[in-house]
């Protein structure tokens, strides 16, 4: 294909904030992605009260507005595109789906990378894309609840689109266990084959400066390495997987477009995954984010190469899942409560730190994801019986969830 034309967008490397701040259906495109024709932006993005962009428009980082029809051909010429999201926002996932469909129409040779799953889930993704698994089998084979935990219904339309088009899906993430090893032991202590060949991350100088503002480096030199690994391994792992997928002929033909779906914090003002891609030598990438303008239409502070303007879709947002209000950790007998939030359902049920939840609704609880799945199915205004072990004795407690507001 001809060399890509540069988009009129500012370089990703010009602004940066540390990525460590983030550690914790298809409808016809002619209507869903329709937008007014390209129009120049006469007022700066931070002063748009008189000229708020309309839903369906794209606003690029130079302040220009574009229709989907005008912008997609140029975006489709990139090697890698990063589509950010807030994980629990239905409208963000719909935007990702529509954008994937529009890009695919211009460049059918495509790979989709998913932050949601670790490398160990790759066989399940391959089987899903090949049409060999149904939804339940895929969710079980990928260990979705344990690996990610967010409602799979938010992501299944995208997964079905990839399956229908036989688009390769790539697991971008690594397990929390591996992230923990890299953070505690350092990169040199984990063999390359056990970290999937992922190399140490870039931009050490910036993180070193951050670390030194809070900790005396002379007092804890090893802590710097743990800090850097903990903050950056996630971004480096995803960047490495994206760069590998973009290699000609690796997954989807000689010249694929690789689209990564991930939390918008990993795009972090050009830092995070974009900076790691640059360090790996892959500089032909762009970051795209959804944007729901508020009040005065002031643009978000963080950088993105282009933003898709959403209207108010809150009426369609699923209700938040019910929450006990506890912090959990694994335990041989179930899940152990580390802390209980004040005023929470758990506190009202008499749960306390140190308790071990062994059953919920009569179902054995082995990992926190088991309890999360049960809570997702629980209706507001109902009781949830919990088998709770304290001091070696198991008793039933009733969690009383308030009715829907």
Q: Is residue 203 a part of any domain in this protein?
A: no
385 lies in the same domain as 241: no
pTM higher than 0.85 for the full model? no
Evaluate if residue 30 carries a pLDDT over 70: no
Q: Which domain holds residue 64?
A: 12-175+232-316
Rg (CA), the chain: 23
* In contact, 334 and 357? CB cutoff 8 Å: yes
Q: Is residue 401 within 8 Å of residue 384, measured between CB atoms?
A: yes
Residues 84 and 156 both lie in one domain = yes
User: Whose CA is closest to 106, among 66, 148, 128, 77?
Assistant: 77
Judge whether 161 lies within some domain.
yes
Q: What is the CATH number of the domain that holds 361?
A: 2.30.42.10
Q: What is the pLDDT of residues 352-396, one digit of tens each?
A: 999 999 999 999 999 998 898 899 889 999 999 999 999 999 999
Residue 7, in any domain of the structure: no
pLDDT at residue 49 in the model = 42
Q: What is the pLDDT of residue 250?
A: 79
By mean pLDDT, which of 1-15, 58-72, 169-183, 198-212 is the weakest? Answer: 1-15
pLDDT digits (tens, 9 = 90+) for 184-218: 776 677 777 776 667 666 556 655 665 666 555 55
In the chain, the number of structural domains is: 2
Cβ atoms within 10 Å, residue 209: 10
C-beta separation of 339 from 328 below 8 A: no
Please check whether residue 267 is in contact with residue 273, taking contact to mean a CB–CB distance below 8 angstroms.
yes
Question: Is residue 203 left, alpha or beta, with left meaning phi > 0 and alpha meaning psi from -120 to 50?
Answer: left
pLDDT in tens, 77-101: 999 999 999 999 999 999 999 999 9
In a domain, residue 6? The reply is no
């Amino acid at each position: 294909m001809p060399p890509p034309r540069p988009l009129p967008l500012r370089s990703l490397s010009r602004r940066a904030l540390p990525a460590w701040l983030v550690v914790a259906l298809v409808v016809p495109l002619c209507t869903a992605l329709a937008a007014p024709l390209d129009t120049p932006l006469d007022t700066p993005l931070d002063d748009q009260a008189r000229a708020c962009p309309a839903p369906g428009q794209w606003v690029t980082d130079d302040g220009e507005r574009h229709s989907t029809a005008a912008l997609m051909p140029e975006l489709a010429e990139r090697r890698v595109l990063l589509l950010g999201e807030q994980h629990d926002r239905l409208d963000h996932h719909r935007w990702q789906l529509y954008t994937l469909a529009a890009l695919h129409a211009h460049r059918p040779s495509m790979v989709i990378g998913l932050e949601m799953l670790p490398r160990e889930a790759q066989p399940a993704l391959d089987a899903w894309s090949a049409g060999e698994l149904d939804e339940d089998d895929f969710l079980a084979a990928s260990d979705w609840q344990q690996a990610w935990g967010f409602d799979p219904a938010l992501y299944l339309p995208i997964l079905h689109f990839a399956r229908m088009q036989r688009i390769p899906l790539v697991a971008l993430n690594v397990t929390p266990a591996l992230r923990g090893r890299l953070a505690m032991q350092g990169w040199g202590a984990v063999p390359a084959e056990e970290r999937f060949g992922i190399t140490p991350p870039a931009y050490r100088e910036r993180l070193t400066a951050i670390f030194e503002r809070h900790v005396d480096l002379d007092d804890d030199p090893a802590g710097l390495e743990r800090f850097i690994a903990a903050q950056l391994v996630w971004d480096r792992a995803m960047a490495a997987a994206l760069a590998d997928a973009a290699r000609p002929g690796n997954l989807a033909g000689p010249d694929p477009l690789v689209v990564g779906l991930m939390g918008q914090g990993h795009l972090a003002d050009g830092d995070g995954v974009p900076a790691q891609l640059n360090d790996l030598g892959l500089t032909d990438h762009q970051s795209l984010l959804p944007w729901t303008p508020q009040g005065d239409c002031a643009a978000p502070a963080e950088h993105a190469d282009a933003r898709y303007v959403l209207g108010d879709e809150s009426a369609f947002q699923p209700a938040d899942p019910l929450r006990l209000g506890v912090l959990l950790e694994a335990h041989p007998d179930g899940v152990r409560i580390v802390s209980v939030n004040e005023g929470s359902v758990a506190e009202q049920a008499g749960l306390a730190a140190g308790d071990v939840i062994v059953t919920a609704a009569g179902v054995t609880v082995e990992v926190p994801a088991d309890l999360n799945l049960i809570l997702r199915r629980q209706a507001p205004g109902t009781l949830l019986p919990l088998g709770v072990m304290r001091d070696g004795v198991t008793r039933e407690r009733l969690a009383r969830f308030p009715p829907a507001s």
